[in-house]
Amino acid sequence: MEDLVWTTLIRALAFGTPILLAGLGEIFAERSGVVNLGVEGMMALGALAAFAVAQSTGLPLLGLAAAVLAGAVAAALFAVAAVSLRANQYVAGLALTMLGLGLAGLLGKPFEGAPLAHTLSETSLMALALLLALALWFVLRHTYWGLVLRSAGENPETVDAMGINVFSVRYAAVVFGGAMAGLAGAFLSLAYRPSWADGITSGLGWIAVALAIFASWHPLRAVVAALFFGALYHLSYRLQAQVTPELLKAMPYLFVVLVLSLSALGRGPSGAPEALGTPYERGERR
């Protein structure tokens, strides 16, 4: 029993790391008022960039940097459409997911099945994710820039009135979110399962989007949520003989629906940014 708890915790941490990283990024983007459903696509691009660079240079840390860059560039592309051009954020995000997955699959052909000589350790990235969660919570909660970011998501008009450019704030948040999704991808292709293959993200990006909501956009609650989702995932294999695996795997989504329903009833933590999903336009009244 003790062994079951211990191994489940370890595995929950490992599996929780990519969804925590990407989820933290999504929390930042959404806190600034932009829903980016392109997490899955950015994660795939990050995973490929990390693997391609690490494999050809032999330097996994350079791969990590490449992943961050790839995710950020993809997110910037999304931001042009969703922030500057005020396109529908949901549609633009879905497009980014499809584009990212397709592009990564296409460009990744030469790397399929290639071995990786130098990998990163799961543990160090797990620790990094936990530290990042703590740091991001601090930034969001206790710094001026955190306040500005949150305001951009709650009441962009006020931010604008303060003389701060809402677009720049949102760009920064979205690009940062992309960088985090790229990092999550790098964890997959350099540490979790060092290799590249089309479809390596297998839906983790969507769990990260769900995580942002489940954690009610709070970086520290995101850690708990990631552990919880990770534990459910591990247990769906561990307890396969006792519990239907489909049920355990559907849990993350079930819980998201539950949290959303509870907050709609006004009984649970919600914290959804007021202006979430609404493109900002100067001088327009809501």
Partner 1 sequence: MRKVFLTVLVVLLGVFGWAQGDKLKACWIYVGPVGDYGWSHAHDQGRIAAAKALPWLETQYVESVPEAQAEAYMDRLVKQGCQVIFATSFGYMDSVLAAAKKHPNVIFAHATGFKRAPNVATYMADFYQLYYLNGLMAGALTKSNKVGYVGAFPIPELKRHISAFALGVRAVNPDAKVLVRWIYEWYNPAAAKEATEALIADGADVFAFTEDSPTVIQVAAEKGLPSFSHYSPMQRFAPDYVVSGQLVHWDKIYIDFLSKVYAGVYTPKNLQNVDYWWLLPQGAVELGGKFGEPINPKFIPVLKAKVVDHPVFGKISVYDLVMKELALMKDDELAFDPFQGPVKDRHGKLRVPAGLRMTKQQLESMEWAAPGVAGPWPNEPK
Kindly state the smallest distance separating residue 65's Cβ from partner 1, in Å. Answer: 23
Stretch that binds partner 1, among 49-57, 69-77, 90-98, 196-204 (CB under 8 A): 196-204
Closest CA to 26 of 271, 187, 213: 213
Q: Residue count at the site for partner 1 (CB under 8 A)? A: 32
Alpha helices in the chain (DSSP H): 2-31, 39-57, 60-79, 89-107, 122-142, 144-154, 156-161, 166-186, 204-214, 219-238, 245-264
The pattern of x and - marking residues 52 through 91 that bind partner 1 according to CB under 8 A reads: ----------------------------------------
Nearer to partner 1, 192 or 255 (CB): 192
Q: Is residue 158 part of the contact set for partner 1 (CB under 8 A)?
A: no
Nearer to partner 1, 113 or 266 (CB): 113
* Separation between Cα atoms, residue 215 and residue 222, nearest integer Å: 5
Judged by CB under 8 A, which of 137, 187, 192, 206 binds partner 1?
192
Please list every residue from 199 through 238 that binds partner 1, using CB under 8 A. Answer: 199-200, 202, 204, 233-234, 236-238
- Phi then psi dihedrals of residue 175, to 5 deg: -65, -40
Structure tokens of 203?
């839906």
Stretch that binds partner 1, among 76-84, 193-201, 213-221, 275-283 (CB under 8 A): 193-201
* Separation between Cα atoms, residue 74 and residue 46, nearest integer Å: 9
* Separation between Cα atoms, residue 219 and residue 225, nearest integer Å: 10
The pattern of x and - marking residues 161 through 190 that bind partner 1 according to CB under 8 A reads: ---------------------------x--
Q: How many CB atoms lie within 10 A of CB 281?
A: 11
Kindly state the smallest distance separating residue 162's Cβ from partner 1, in Å. Answer: 44
Stretch that binds partner 1, among 22-30, 240-248, 250-258, 278-286 (CB under 8 A): 240-248
Structure tokens of 137?
């919570």
Task: Say if residue 105 is exposed, middle or buried (CB neighbours under 10 Å; 0-12, 13-18, 19+).
Answer: middle
What is residue 85's three-state secondary structure?
A: coil
Q: Is residue 118 part of the contact set for partner 1 (CB under 8 A)?
A: no
Interface residues toward partner 1, by CB under 8 A: 3-4, 7, 11, 14-15, 105, 108-109, 112-113, 115, 188, 192-195, 197-200, 202, 204, 233-234, 236-238, 240-241, 245-246
